[in-house]
Structures are given as C-alpha cells and as structure tokens.
C-alpha cells in the first residue's frame, strides 16, 4: 500500500494541493476509485446458468447469467449465516444456498426459506442480498463494487470499434497495489528496461520521443502518430500504422492500431482484487482472419510480456512496503502524475455530486525510450 501521495512536481500541484487535500481524505487517494466499473473476466466464459465467484476491491461477489442471458452480481454471502452463495445451485432463475436451502432471485430478494413451517408467520420478503451494477463490453464483464449513494459520473466502459476476427486474452495476478499496477499502464519509462524481448523491442537503444497528449473524458490520449518503432509486431500489419493510446480511469489502457482497413486493438485493464493484489487483463483483438493462425504463437509472448510487468511490479511493491514514497520525475513521469490528478478530480466530483471536469490540458511531452 502507498501510505503517502507521490511526490509531484511542485509547480504543477502546489496550487491545487492546498485546496484538494484539505477536503479529500488522503486514504481515499490511496484506494482504487470506488465508484467505477472494473473488469471481472471474459463474457463468453460466463454461460447461462453459471455462477462465478470473484473478488473485487475486497468484496466477495458472485456473478451469474440467468436463463434469458441477463447478468447479475451480488454479494457472495448468504444473509442467514454467511455461506458463499457461489457454492450453491443456480437453476437459471434463483440461487439456492447450500447450507439451509434459502433461495434468492437474481434481484437479490429472498424467495423461499424451505425450513419454515406453514404455521410460522416469519416474513422473508425483507431479506435481500446486496446487488452490484454489472455490464458487458468489449467481450468482458464489468462490475461496479460501489455501495454508496449517487456520486459523479462513472467512466465509460471501453468498447471495440470494429468486428474482431479473433482475440487473445491473458490474465495475470500481480501482488502489488492497484495504483502501482495502473501506473505501469501510463509509464513510457519502463518499456525499454522491462519489455526488452527481441520480438517486441529489437533495438536496445533509447531514442528521443515527442508525443502529443490530449485530454479525453476521464483520461487522456496519446495522439495518433506514425509509429517510429521497428517492432516486428507492427511489421506484421504492413505499412506504417497509426497508433493511438488512450488511458481512462479507473485503470484502462486502450491501444488502437490502424493500417488501412486493418485493425488491431490491445486493451489492458487493471482490476483491484484486494489492497495488495491486482489483476492485469490484456486483450488483443484483430480484424484480419489470417492472424488467427498466429494465436498459439502469440499467447506465450503476451504472457511473457505481462509476466515482465508482474515481476518488476512485485519487487517495486516490496520496496514501497518498506518506504511508501515515490519520486515522480521528468516528463516521462508526467502521465503518472496525471493519473493521480484525474483520480483526485473524480473523487472530488463524487463528493460534490457533479460531473467530472478533466483537469488536464493538451500538451507535448518529450522523453527517451
Ligand atoms: S447460510 Fe444460507 S441458508 Fe443458511
Ligand atoms: Fe509494462
């Protein structure tokens, strides 16, 4: 856990710090954004009639899909004696607790207490299991674990702008905080040192980069540009592709690559499981059927890439556990500072039940990577 905010460039935040931190609970800044949808797994693995237990921001949640195909998410805890409802039976309409057989509809309402005598006047209609908002988008299931009242607007779910011919998904649990893991999604400085596999980065030299960043709803985009990388992955597309990378709260990185009619999207989602465990989900989609042949080859490479992040993040977390401060330094760390500014604004907007106002401005950044 980070126990203090990162050191930010003084000039950048001195003005806002005095006002923001007076009203914001510093603890809240160390937590994942509470009122937001997080990726909890692939859509296609949650079949009708299935239940799945997931952990999200410290909550135990049971997900399911009813007979009609509608998703639901509720607290994975029977109100009677705390049994995990995910261990129960689901007939596509109601979940039966395996301990004493109480039945709950997918709306969380208790429908039946089979042990009640017909002479017993006890009324079970007021017994409910807490429900959570649940959605589907880009082939994934998303749950908002927030239980508070109405707050600001929540960040939009990522969508895929084309019909994919195929996709490849790798999930990896990182023993690190949500913030540290999410920073790796907006950190150009680590790429040359951590992701140095031949197939991703054949040249070991650091090169000067200039990128334009533009604010977007709940985040920022690194504007389209002709890529300068000589990566074989890009070469596969033929020609010079246009690449656009968007970061969006709470922890979503959307990389979209276009070359003529060819499309590739590489989406990465961070999901807080507990305060020190974060799931990284990487999904690669493409619209050229011929690339489906490469899936068996690409899967271990994608796993290797994510494992590189996992290993370095876990070691960094150990260092932050000993001394929980960071020095965010230079322009390559500005996107990391922006992450905290975006989160701070989202928390403040929620407190004031108003719309999110992006605090960032269009900016050109230079670094070597
Ligand atoms: S614990 Fe669920 S029915 Fe008793
Ligand atoms: Fe990385």
Segment (H or E) for 51: strand 51-56
**Token digits for 197?**
């596999």
CA of 170 to the centre of ligand 2 (A): 14
Q: Quick check: CB of 81 below 6 Å from ligand 1?
A: yes
350-360 exposure pattern, b = at least 16 Cβ within 10 A, e = fewer: beeeeebebeb
**pLDDT confidence band for 253 (50 / 70 / 90):** very high
* HEC string for 97-127: CCCCCCEEECCCEEEECCCCCCCCCCCCCCC
pLDDT (0 to 100) of residue 24: 55
**Token digits for 206?**
């650091």
Distance CA(277)–CA(175), nearest Å, equals: 5
Atom of ligand 1 nearest to the CA of 83: 1
Residue ranges in 147-294 assigned as alpha helix (H): 178-183, 191-194, 232-235
8 Å CB contact between 42 and 52 = no
8 Å CB contact between 225 and 243 = yes
8 Å CB contact between 338 and 186 = yes
Cα torsion angle, 154, 158, 159, 161, sign: positive
Q: Which of 74, 77, 83, 90 to mutate to test the pocket of ligand 1 (most atoms within 8 A of CB)?
A: 83
Cα torsion angle, 336, 254, 27, 325, sign: negative
CA of 331 to the centre of ligand 1 (A): 55
Segment (H or E) for 290: none
Q: Quick check: CB of 97 below 6 Å from ligand 1?
A: yes
8 Å CB contact between 92 and 64 = no
Residue nearest to atom 3 of ligand 1 (CA): 100
**pLDDT confidence band for 322 (50 / 70 / 90):** very high
Q: What is the pTM of this model?
A: 0.90
8 Å CB contact between 168 and 302 = yes
Q: What mean pLDDT is reported for the chain?
A: 89
Percent of the chain with pLDDT over 90: 75
Q: What are phi and psi of 320, to 5 degrees?
A: -70, -30
**Token digits for 26?**
């510093």
Q: Quick check: CB of 78 below 6 Å from ligand 1?
A: yes
ipTM exceeding the 0.95 mark = yes
pLDDT in tens, 182-203: 999 999 999 999 998 777 777 7
Q: What are phi and psi of 219, to 5 degrees?
A: 180, -150
Which ligand approaches the C-alpha of residue 302 most closely?
A: 2
pLDDT (0 to 100) of residue 181: 97
**Is the model more confident about 223 or about 176?**
176
CA of 250 to the centre of ligand 1 (A): 35
CA angle 171, 83, 57 (to 5 degrees): 35
CA of 195 to the centre of ligand 2 (A): 7
Give the SS3 label for residue 19: helix
CA of 169 to the centre of ligand 2 (A): 16
pLDDT (0 to 100) of residue 97: 98
Q: Quick check: CB of 80 below 6 Å from ligand 1?
A: yes
pLDDT (0 to 100) of residue 334: 96
CA of 311 to the centre of ligand 2 (A): 10
Residue nearest to atom 4 of ligand 1 (CA): 100
Q: Quick check: CB of 127 below 6 Å from ligand 1?
A: no
Atom of ligand 1 nearest to the CA of 81: 1
Q: Which of 62, 80, 87, 104 to mutate to test the pocket of ligand 1 (most atoms within 8 A of CB)?
A: 80
Distance CA(75)–CA(73), nearest Å, equals: 7
Segment (H or E) for 175: none
266-290 exposure pattern, b = at least 16 Cβ within 10 A, e = fewer: bbbbbbbbeebbbbbbbbbbbbbee
CA of 312 to the centre of ligand 2 (A): 9
Atom of ligand 1 nearest to the CA of 85: 2
Q: Quick check: CB of 87 below 6 Å from ligand 1?
A: no
CA of 129 to the centre of ligand 1 (A): 12
Q: Which of 77, 81, 85, 111 to mutate to test the pocket of ligand 1 (most atoms within 8 A of CB)?
A: 81
Residue nearest to atom 1 of ligand 1 (CA): 81
pLDDT in tens, 234-245: 666 776 788 899
Mean pLDDT of 158-171: 96
pLDDT (0 to 100) of residue 20: 41
């Amino acid at each position: 856990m980070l126990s203090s905010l990162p050191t930010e460039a003084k000039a950048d935040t001195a003005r806002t710090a005095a006002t923001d931190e007076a009203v914001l609970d510093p603890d809240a800044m160390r937590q994942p954004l509470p009122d937001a949808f997080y990726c909890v797994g692939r859509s296609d693995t949650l079949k009708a009639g299935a239940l799945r237990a997931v952990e999200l921001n410290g909550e135990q949640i049971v997900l399911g899909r009813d007979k009609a195909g509608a998703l639901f998410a509720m607290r994975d805890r029977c109100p009677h004696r705390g049994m995990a409802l995910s261990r129960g039976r689901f007939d596509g309409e109601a979940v039966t607790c395996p301990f004493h057989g109480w039945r709950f509809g997918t709306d969380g309402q208790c429908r039946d207490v089979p042990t009640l005598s017909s002479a017993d006047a006890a009324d079970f209609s007021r017994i409910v299991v807490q429900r959570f908002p649940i959605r589907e988008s880009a082939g994934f299931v998303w749950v908002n674990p927030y239980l508070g009242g109405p707050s600001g607007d929540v960040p939009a779910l990522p969508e895929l702008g084309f019909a994919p011919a195929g996709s490849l998904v790798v999930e990896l649990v990182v023993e690190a905080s949500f913030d540290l893991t999410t920073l790796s999604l907006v950190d150009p400085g680590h790429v040359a040192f951590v992701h140095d596999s031949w197939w991703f980065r054949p040249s070991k030299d650091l090169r000067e980069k200039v990128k334009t960043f533009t604010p977007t709803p709940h985040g920022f985009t690194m504007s389209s540009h002709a890529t300068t990388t000589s990566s074989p992955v890009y070469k596969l597309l033929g020609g010079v592709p246009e690449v656009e990378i968007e970061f969006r709260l709470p922890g979503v990185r959307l990389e979209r690559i276009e070359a003529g009619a060819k499309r590739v999207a590489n989406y990465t989602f961070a999901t807080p499981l507990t305060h020190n465990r974060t799931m990284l989900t990487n999904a690669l989609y493409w619209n050229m059927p011929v690339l489906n042949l490469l899936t068996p080859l690409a899967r271990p490479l994608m796993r290797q890439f994510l494992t590189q992040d996992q290993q370095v993040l876990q070691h960094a977390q150990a260092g932050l556990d000993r001394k929980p401060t960071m020095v965010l330094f230079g322009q390559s760390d500005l996107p990391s500072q922006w992450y905290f500014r975006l989160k701070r604004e989202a928390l403040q907007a929620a407190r004031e039940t108003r719309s999110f106002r992006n605090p960032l401005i269009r900016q050109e950044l230079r670094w070597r990577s």
